[in-house]
């Protein structure tokens, strides 16, 4: 039993290191291989659970690891590079076997509104074009707010904003069944809500892109789908 627990702890530590590195500058296909070498999909599920229902948690929870994870990582590398090139005002990060995209809400929406601004629709259109090119992914869209106002109001606003981004992307041809949307209100800040600058950081939309079952199966059989 001790040996089993040591193995689980080692897998979790390794996957945590990968998760943290992925949120920074390390964004190579080798991340998928590393997860598989030390932990496999089981560690991905453990880390996903530990991270909660967040963009990073969704990505890590979907990890398969090993050679298949490396192949998925390569698939994600290519589209992440296109996102970094084409999406203005977005932070694009390679995390594990997926991609995390963060938009400041001020870029996407007017104050206290869930209507995507006309200038921002072009950005969502570009994102939709990339998602349509790399079809074998799931997409989680999360809305987050600062702490101004009531919890109930912010919860509703965050949900509407996440749904609005998904709806616009669907309008540009992305299949609706690829999306999951969720709002967190001000329950998951990335900074203190003590200054206007920090509050602006908390007002954001995070998007997680990760492999669907078809992509996982293809990667395991070494036959990744071609892109358009």
For residue 72, being part of any structural domain is answered with yes
* pLDDT value at 82 more than 90: yes
DSSP 8-state secondary structure symbol assigned to residue 183: E
> What is the count of structural domains for the chain?
1
The answer on pLDDT for 186 being more than 80 is: yes
Mean pLDDT (the chain) is 83
Is residue 226 in some structural domain?
A: no
Of 132, 46, 19, 131, the C-alpha closest to 80 is 131
Res 52 pLDDT > 70:
no
How would you list the strands of the sheet with 137-144, edge to edge?
A: 90-95, 98-104, 204-211, 137-144, 179-183
* C-alpha pair distances (Å), 139 with each of 49, 107, 154: 18, 20, 22
- pTM for the whole thing? 0.79
Q: Note the helical H segments in 103-182.
A: 105-108, 118-133, 151-171
What tokens does 145 get?
Answer: 């707010």
Q: What's residue 118's pLDDT? A: 93
In a domain, 52, yes or no: yes
209 strand-pairing partners: 99, 139
- For residue 43, the model assigns a pLDDT of 45
Q: How confident is the model at residue 53 (pLDDT cuts 50, 70, 90)?
A: low
Measured in Å, how far apart are the chain's first and last C-alpha atoms? 49
Q: Domain with 19 in it: what CATH number? A: 3.30.1330.60
User: If residue 91 lies in a helix (H) or strand (E), which one and from where to where?
Assistant: strand 90-95
Each residue's pLDDT tens digit, 126-179: 999 999 999 999 999 999 999 999 999 999 999 999 999 999 999 999 999 999
When pLDDT is averaged across residues 97-124 and rounded to a whole number, the result is 95
Q: Which residue has the tokens 């994102």?
A: 127
pLDDT of residue 178: 98
Classify residue 228: in a domain, yes or no. Answer: no
Structural domain span for residue 183? 2-220
Q: 205: how many CB neighbours lie within 10 A of its CB?
A: 27
56, part of any domain: yes
Q: 17: which 2 tokens?
A: 């290191």
What is the rounded CA–CA span in Å between residue 168 and residue 60? 26
Say yes or no to pLDDT of 47 above 80.
no
The answer to whether residue 225 sits within a structural domain is: no
CA pair distance 211, 135, nearest whole angstrom: 10
């Amino acid at each position: 039993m001790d040996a089993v627990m040591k193995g689980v702890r080692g897998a979790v530590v390794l996957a945590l290191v990968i998760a943290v590195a992925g949120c920074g500058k390390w964004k190579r296909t080798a991340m998928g291989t590393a997860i598989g070498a030390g932990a496999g999909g089981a560690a991905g599920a453990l880390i996903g659970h530990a991270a909660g229902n967040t963009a990073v948690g969704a990505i890590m929870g979907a990890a398969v690891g090993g050679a298949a994870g490396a192949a998925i990582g390569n698939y994600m590398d290519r589209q992440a590079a296109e996102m970094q090139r084409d999406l203005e005002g977005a932070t694009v990060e390679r995390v594990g076997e997926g991609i995390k995209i963060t938009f400041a809400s001020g870029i996407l929406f007017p104050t206290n509104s869930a209507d995507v601004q006309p200038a921002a629709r072009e950005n969502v259109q570009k994102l939709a074009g990339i998602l349509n090119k790399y079809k074998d992914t799931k997409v989680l869209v999360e809305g987050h707010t600062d702490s101004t106002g009531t919890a109930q109001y912010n919860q509703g606003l965050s949900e509407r904003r996440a749904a609005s981004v998904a709806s616009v992307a669907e309008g540009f041809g992305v299949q609706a069944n690829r999306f999951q949307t969720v709002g967190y209100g001000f329950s998951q800040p990335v900074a203190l809500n003590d200054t206007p600058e920090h509050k602006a950081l908390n007002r954001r939309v995070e998007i997680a892109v990760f492999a669907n079952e078809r992509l996982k199966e293809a990667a395991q059989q070494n036959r990744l789908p071609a892109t358009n």
